[in-house]
Homo-oligomer: A and B are copies of this chain.
């Protein structure tokens, strides 16, 4: 099954556009868990077990595992193994490098870690994306308009044509990068007007939308702007919903509240 097929099936089964970001920070783990890679795995396993019927995907950000050193890679693998097979996994990695290096990153993500999809940076252009996109059954989410304040530094720059850079990236995705129907875009919920503009350029593509929760984006506005095939990605506001021994139940409640507030 393709990534998109698996995603749409999970969205339908769980009636959910919610993706939980598994971004474990040792300093924010509940006090009763060890501040080690093993503690991270325990934390993630509990979050996954408590929320797997409420989500359409899980998205571990590889930075938080790299920060743990060699044990972090194993913690990431154990985390991925804890995710039920019918829920797609998106590796948040924002990779972008020249072709020969991109092939190595694609091996790491799709062969070593066996994730269903990955996030990528467009700054190096088409040949940096091709080694990922040629895996037709995997999904590739290209950064378009990110949720952070500094995103405007480059992405909002107006081109000579009058079009902002993020919109040009969306057009490249629609016209060139989605040849196999496995390309999506990352657009922050903090900019609902720009999310609507991207959706108009890319009607059928999955949009991965972070920024609801800690970053302040509004869920209803994001879903209204993004429409179908919009994945609402929330990390800290769910996984750190409670600091105590009942952290997984608190995370479930936070996910449930988002799930039912649509």
Contacts and interface: CB of A to CB of B under 8 A. Distances in A.
Contacts of A256: none
Given A158-B159, A158-B160, A160-B160, A123 B122 contact: yes
Interface string A186-227: 000000000000000000000000000001000000000000
Nearest to A146: B124
A74 B96 CA distance: 23
Contacts of A72: 73, 108
B63 A25 contact: no
A157 interface: yes
A128 B154 CA distance: 12
A104 B149 CA distance: 18
Given A97-B94, A101-B23, A159-B160, A125 B112 contact: no
| Majority secondary structure, A binding face | helix
B159 A157 contact: yes
Contacts of A79: none
A127 B98 contact: no
A84 interface: no
Given A96-B121, A129-B150, 16 more contacts: A25-B104, A67-B108, A69-B73, A70-B77, A94-B124, A99-B148, A121-B123, A122-B123, A124-B151, A125-B150, A127-B148, A128-B148, A128-B150, A153-B172, A158-B159, A159-B159
19 contacts: A61-B97, A63-B105, A64-B101, A66-B73, A67-B112, A68-B112, A70-B77, A72-B73, A94-B97, A96-B96, A122-B154, A123-B155, A125-B154, A125-B155, A126-B153, A127-B149, A127-B150, A154-B165, A159-B160
